[in-house]
């Protein structure tokens, strides 16, 4: 196997949450371009993104998944994804939400929804996928963490709590499953221009403050994460486990 061959995802099956837009869509397309067949776990089917994956010559399908569902519902979604081609090689927990504002002004419903979508759902999806991966000899689970996995942020208490928990979950699952061939890692995006932070980017004063701190001098784009994703999803990272790969233009170095 050549170095480049070790990055190929040919004939792998990748399950990705939240692919209808933003970061999830870009990550799903990157996995397809690298050779993987894609199962989209979304609240509704999206033919446009399915067809975009097929344009790379890969198979693509959608499975309904409500991340607010309970463990049984999430497990059934993984079961359906597995039944499509009889295996799951890669799980990317990409979907996420944020509720901005002082925590004392957030409702219990808002707080619980962020914790459920950003932390509880990835845990149960990972558990369901791991049970299947162990039977096939291993796999890759990639969580999408955040700079808030390391920092408290401002007016995003529920989000920071969930993403900090996701970092801990990544390490804990890597410890438990590493000996069974499952690598659990996380991408840690810096300030990436997506729908989730459109309000911040619309505030030119705050947006400029962020750019000033980032050594790269710009907000990131979803495509900036693609190299790290393919590395963590491929055989090239078979000895990388429990790692949080920060891709932030240098933000954390300041």
pLDDT exceeds cutoff 80 at 196 = no
User: Is residue 205 very low, low, confident or very high in pLDDT (cuts 50, 70, 90)?
Assistant: confident
What is the 8-class DSSP label of residue 132? H
CB 130 within 8 A of CB 173: yes
Q: Average pLDDT in the 65-78 region?
A: 96
pLDDT exceeds cutoff 90 at 63 = yes
Residue 30 CA to residue 18 CA, distance in Å, equals 14
Give me the active site residues, please.
159
Q: Average pLDDT in the 183-199 region?
A: 89
Report the pLDDT value the prediction gives residue 10, as an integer from 0 to 100.
Answer: 97
Report the pLDDT value the prediction gives residue 58, as an integer from 0 to 100.
Answer: 97
pLDDT exceeds cutoff 80 at 42 = yes
User: Is residue 60 very low, low, confident or very high in pLDDT (cuts 50, 70, 90)?
Assistant: very high
Report the pLDDT value the prediction gives residue 230, as an integer from 0 to 100.
Answer: 98
Token pair listed for 37: 């067949």
Q: Average pLDDT in the 237-245 region?
A: 98
Report the pLDDT value the prediction gives residue 75, as an integer from 0 to 100.
Answer: 98
What distances in angstroms separate CA 32 from CA 50, 82, 90, one per listed residue? 10, 17, 12
Residue 27 CA to residue 225 CA, distance in Å, equals 8
pLDDT exceeds cutoff 80 at 200 = no
CB 124 within 8 A of CB 66: no
Instruction: Report the predicted TM-score, pTM, of the whole model to 2 decimal places.
Output: 0.95
Among residues 176, 193, 194, 162, the alpha carbon closest in space to that of 67 is found at 162
Among residues 24, 49, 42, 12, the alpha carbon closest in space to that of 187 is found at 24
Question: What percent of the chain shows pLDDT beyond 90?
Answer: 87
Cβ neighbors of 10 (< 8 A, separation 6 or more) are 35, 36
| DSSP element (H, E) containing 16 | strand 13-17
The pair phi, psi for residue 174, each rounded to 5°, is: -60, -40
User: Is residue 173 very low, low, confident or very high in pLDDT (cuts 50, 70, 90)?
Assistant: very high
What distances in angstroms separate CA 63 from CA 56, 127, 131, 138, 184, one per listed residue? 20, 18, 19, 22, 23
Q: Average pLDDT in the 10-16 region?
A: 97
pLDDT digits (tens, 9 = 90+) for 89-107: 999 999 999 999 999 999 9
Report the pLDDT value the prediction gives residue 199, as an integer from 0 to 100.
Answer: 79
Query: What rounded mean pLDDT belongs to the chain?
Result: 95
Classify domain 5-247 at the CATH topology level. Rossmann fold (3.40.50)
Token pair listed for 122: 């990835």
């Amino acid at each position: 196997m050549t170095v480049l061959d070790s990055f190929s995802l040919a004939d792998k099956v990748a399950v990705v949450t939240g692919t209808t837009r933003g970061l999830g869509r870009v990550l799903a397309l990157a996995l397809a371009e690298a050779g993987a067949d894609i199962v989209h776990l979304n609240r509704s089917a999206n033919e446009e993104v399915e067809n975009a994956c097929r344009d790379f010559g890969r198979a693509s399908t959608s499975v309904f998944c409500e991340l607010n569902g309970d463990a049984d519902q999430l497990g059934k979604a993984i079961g359906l994804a597995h039944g499509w081609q009889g295996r799951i090689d890669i799980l990317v927990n990409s979907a996420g939400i944020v509720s901005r504002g002082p925590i004392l002004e957030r409702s219990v419903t808002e707080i619980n929804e962020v914790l459920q979508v950003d932390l509880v759902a990835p845990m149960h999806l990972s558990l369901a996928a791991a049970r299947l991966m162990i039977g096939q000899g291993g796999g890759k689970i990639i969580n999408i963490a955040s700079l808030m996995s390391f920092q408290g942020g401002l007016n995003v208490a529920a989000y920071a709590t969930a993403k900090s928990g996701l970092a801990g979950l990544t390490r804990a699952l890597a410890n438990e499953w590493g000996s069974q061939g499952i690598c659990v890692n996380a991408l840690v995006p810096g300030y990436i221009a997506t729908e989730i932070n459109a309000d911040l980017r619309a505030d030119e004063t705050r947006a400029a403050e962020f750019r000033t701190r980032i050594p790269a001098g710009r907000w990131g784009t979803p495509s900036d994460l693609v190299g790290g994703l393919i590395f963590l999803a491929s055989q090239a990272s078979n000895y990388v486990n429990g790692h949080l790969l920060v891709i932030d233009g240098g933000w954390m170095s300041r």
